[in-house]
Amino acid sequence: MNAIVISVILMLLLSLARMHVMLAMMVAAFVGGWIGGLDISTTLDAFNKGIGGGASIALSYALLGAFAVAISLSGLPQRLVQRLLKAVPSETNISTPDTRWLKGALLLLLAGMAIASQNIVPIHIAFIPILIPPLLAVTNALQIDRRVLASVLTFGLITAYLFIPVGFGNIYLQQILLGRSEQAGLDVAGISVVQAMSLPALGMLVGLLIAIFFSYRRPRLYANKTATLQRNNEYDTRGVIVGIIAVVVALVVQLSSGSMMLGAMMGFVVFSLTGVVRWQESEGVVLDGIKMMASIGFIMIAVAGFAEVLKQTGHIELLVAQSGEWLGAHRGLSVFILLLLGLLLTMGIGSSFSTIPIIATLYVPLGLAMGLTPLAIIALIGTAGALGDAGSPASDSTLGPTAGLNADGQHHHIWDTVVPTFLHFNLPLLVFGWLAVMIL
């Protein structure tokens, strides 16, 4: 038995059974450690070592939540949403051409912001808890299925770094994918990483179109529970201006320092200094922000511990070595098995950026032995790393959308984000990634 296979499958099954993802990962980590030959003490040490590295991420998300609450108090997102609500017709006219146009424009806006958050303005998921909760009033009025919203957001978060070599895409494609492959012995001179990943990115687009126009095209009703916006609310213009300034400050600080935590903190300080958030109210605002993002923060801590236990077992390398023994003369089947292994690893680790350094060292010699071209090997490793980022209960590409869409408690992380994104992105990515490796 391989500890990686058993622990990841167990984590997924427990999550699908509606056990909280954090608890599911902890249970799976100890089961994986036991199967991997680690005693309880060693497993605990590995888990504790891992969660230490995830603490800074959790703190960043907590401060981001506080910043998001402060922005909502300024009235900036509500003012934007009020303008959108004026364009929404009554429920009896929900299928008018104007409404369909508005739905399309809203989906394009969300996809564009998700893409920009990875490349143009690399703030990652920071925009989601700020923008999405007040937008729920609009999406409820338009009766948009939130599963398609989750798909749009996840598509933008992943496809941007998968195909566009700027921002996070530069880190993934140039620094990690090409860099690690070259360290593993692959000649990457003259390789166009965009060419290698164009078909996998097309697979993501196909999955998104299926989600929009087929799977979730029908209207879906939600209760109007959003307390963040009322149609008749009035907001002070000064607060809106301060909100814009705070967002700019947070963005500048994050881009200059490379720290999402520091950017969120400075943005919150702007609100405090200007009085938009009163000093005596700041503690409550921070607590509200922590409540909003606590789940994603603790899950990311558990992810780090889980990943460290899997690494300590040594079964990741063993799994690939065993798979290498199964790989025969049939190149197509061999490529498919390697892609499935990447899917399994990334769904467990929760980060494609962390998966690439693990599999590059193992996949480069296997790809060369199979007679694959360097371009095909890059496509294989890049696709295998990205597989599982969508559809993983532990990925911030799914946790982020859920954090925004579940602001009123009507969006389930597993069944409304994880399962839809797994079906609509991982399956097309498998097919188009396989085609890329076979063609290139």
Question: Can you give the pTM of this predicted structure?
Answer: 0.75
Q: Report the candidate in 343, 425, 338 with the shortest Cα–Cα distance to residue 380.
A: 338
Give the CA angle between residues 413, 415, 421 to the nearest 5°.
85
Please return the burial class of 408, using the count of CB atoms within 10 Å of its CB with bins 0-12, 13-18 and 19+.
middle
pLDDT at 121 (0 to 100): 63
Nearest to 252 by CA among 160, 344, 121, 85: 121
Nearest to 156 by CA among 111, 220, 223, 222: 111
What value does the mean pLDDT of the chain take?
80
Secondary structure (3-state) at 33 = helix
Q: Which of 6-20, 206-220, 304-318, 389-403 has the highest mean pLDDT?
A: 206-220
Burial classification of residue 279, based on how many CB atoms lie within 10 Å of its CB (0-12 exposed, 13-18 middle, 19 or more buried): exposed
Asked if residues 349 and 341 have their Cβ atoms less than 8 Å apart, the reply is: no
Instruction: Please state, in angstroms and rounded to a whole number, the distance separating the CA atoms of residues 46 and 65.
Output: 29
Q: Given pLDDT bands bounded at 50, 70 and 90, which one contains residue 1?
A: low
* Interval 215-248: pLDDT, tens: 999 989 888 765 444 434 455 677 778 878 887 8
CB 157 within 8 A of CB 118: yes
Q: From CA 178, how far away is CA 360, in angstroms rounded?
A: 9
Of 21-35, 176-190, 291-305, 411-425, the poorest mean pLDDT is in 291-305
Q: What DSSP line would sit under 62-103, residue for residue?
A: HHHHHHHHHHHHHTHHHHHHHHHHHT---GGGTTSHHHHHHH
Instruction: Write the pLDDT tens digit of every residue in 52-110.
Output: 766 666 676 677 777 777 777 777 666 766 666 666 655 545 556 667 788 888 899 88
